[in-house]
Amino acid sequence: MTGSADRGASTGRPERGAEGGDRRAGGEGTGDRRAVVAKRVDAGDADLTEITRLAEAAGYEVVGGLTQTRTEDAAFMFGEGKVAELRDLVRERDAGCVVIDNDVGPYQTFNIGGKLPEGVEVIDRFTLILEIFGQRANTRKAQLQVELAELRYELPRAEAKASLAKRDERPGFMGLGEYDESVERDIKRQISEIRDELESIAEKEQARREQRRDSGFDLVALAGYTNAGKSTLMRQLAAELDVDENEDRHPDLARTAESEDMLFTTLGTTTRRAEMEKRDVLLTDTVGFIADLPHWLVESFESTLDSVYRADLVLLVVDASEPVPEMREKLVTSHDTLYERNEAPIVTVFNKVDRLDPGELADKRAALSGLAPDPVAVSARTGAGVAELRDRVEDELPEWERERLMLPVSDDAMSLVSWIHDHAHVDEETYAEDQVTLAFEAKPSIVSRARSKAAELVPASST
């Protein structure tokens, strides 16, 4: 279990999966990381693209795939004949793991595992996502969020084991071993402890955000599905790194943000000073959205999403190279996530336009105008459209105030002039005899502080 060692040790709960084992550490042999992916859908054709990429992001080598279109089988998820095909494919490809792109119940997991060769592990979609999160959690906050998600995943399964054990008056559950009721109590206790610690971290981060606003920074957040190109876009917009978002240094905090073609490259938050014409902007990249995440998993990462919810502006990055139906589905889900708590304006960014054929961008703009009425088209890879995006960011941020101050030339006044240069955009700075005139634009809070500082130098120095 990622995070606090004493918490993990206190539960005594078994590892998830048919055969157990710590997946994050990898297998002893190469076969343990060879995976067959599988998916069942009620209707239509099952697509294995995303689950394959997720498995690869977790470090598995995908060596085969299997799909089925039918209603869910209560005992096996798939039909029993399809499970036999899965067994044969696992043997043929010498796979050590089966990754199922469905929410597989513990009973179904056990049944499928019983049909597979001995030692082959069964992992469902959400267990795989938790595994990836665990691999990428390199700060205390990220580790706590992963641990919370794991515990929330485990809790209903622990409750089910307790319920069935009592009903059947037997110590085991579906052959998974003896169940100790104290496990359920320990999980609930740990969830409460982690929530308390995450709340404490969130309070510190909120204080840090307010301090940055008081210093004249506007806060802009990058949101969107994983692999939409958010980290690459941050590299285009960001200046030299000078901000630590986390108390513990995050591995993403290097000279440039990671931009690998891999899901979940960014788990924690990365904050950079963005290069704008006038404003001092801090740009935050955070974990990407992903389809079909259960509510309990989204809630576990709520404190990370606070960087989006509490921003002054959100840039919703969408992969414009995807088909319109996929773009529409992701826009709808993103809006549901963002508008639930976010009050800041949202600007949709159509990224990867360098991959589009002539005329394709206009068609997609028209098809998605209801969800993205005025998107900014960019290519984070080539830099096309980034200048227009900078202009749009400045236009959409809260209005600045204009101010004009006349100050006596003195050491204290020069310190104030320097402070205004650091926190505002100076339009005019002129010197005449023993007086300096300064015209500038800034956030209302900065203008107010500048007036107060000027009043301390000489009464009625503002005109």
139 is in an annotated binding site: no
204 is in an annotated binding site: no
227 is in an annotated binding site: yes
Helix or strand (DSSP H, E) at 223 = strand 217-224
DSSP codes joined into one string, 186-198: HHHHHHHHHHHHH
Query: How far apart, in whole angstroms, are the C-alpha atoms of residue 146 and residue 300?
Result: 7
Classify residue 409 by its DSSP letter: S
Crossing angle between the packed helical segments 106-115 and 140-168, to the nearest 10 degrees? 80
Two tokens at 69? 């279109």
Two tokens at 421? 């240069």
8 is in an annotated binding site: no
Nearest to 90 by CA among 60, 120, 112: 120
381 is in an annotated binding site: yes
455 is in an annotated binding site: no
Number of H helices, E strands in the chain: 15, 13
Backbone torsions φ then ψ of 52, nearest 5 degrees:
-65, -45
Query: How far apart, in whole angstroms, are the C-alpha atoms of residue 173 and residue 8?
Result: 22
Backbone torsions φ then ψ of 279, nearest 5 degrees:
-90, 155
226 is in an annotated binding site: yes
- Rounded to an integer, what is the distance from CA 21 to the centroid of its chain? 27
Query: How far apart, in whole angstroms, are the C-alpha atoms of residue 286 and residue 304?
Result: 7
DSSP codes joined into one string, 299-341: HHTHHHHHHHHT-SEEEEEEETTS-HHHHHHHHHHHHHHHHTT
Two tokens at 189? 């206790």
22 is in an annotated binding site: no
Two tokens at 83? 């499970």
231 is in an annotated binding site: yes
Q: Which residue has the tokens 């399809």?
A: 82
266 is in an annotated binding site: yes
- Rounded to an integer, what is the distance from CA 399 to the centroid of its chain? 29
157 is in an annotated binding site: no
Helix/strand/coil percent split, the chain, to 5? 45, 20, 35
287 is in an annotated binding site: yes
Q: Alpha-carbon Rg of the chain, whole angstroms?
A: 27
Query: How far apart, in whole angstroms, are the C-alpha atoms of residue 437 and residue 430?
Result: 5
* β-bridge partners, 266: none
228 is in an annotated binding site: yes
265 is in an annotated binding site: no
CB 257 within 8 Å of CB 286 = no
- Give binding residues for GTP as ranges: 224-231, 285-288, 351-354, 379-381
Annotated binding site for Mg(2+): 231, 266
Residues in the annotated binding site: 224-231, 266, 285-288, 351-354, 379-381
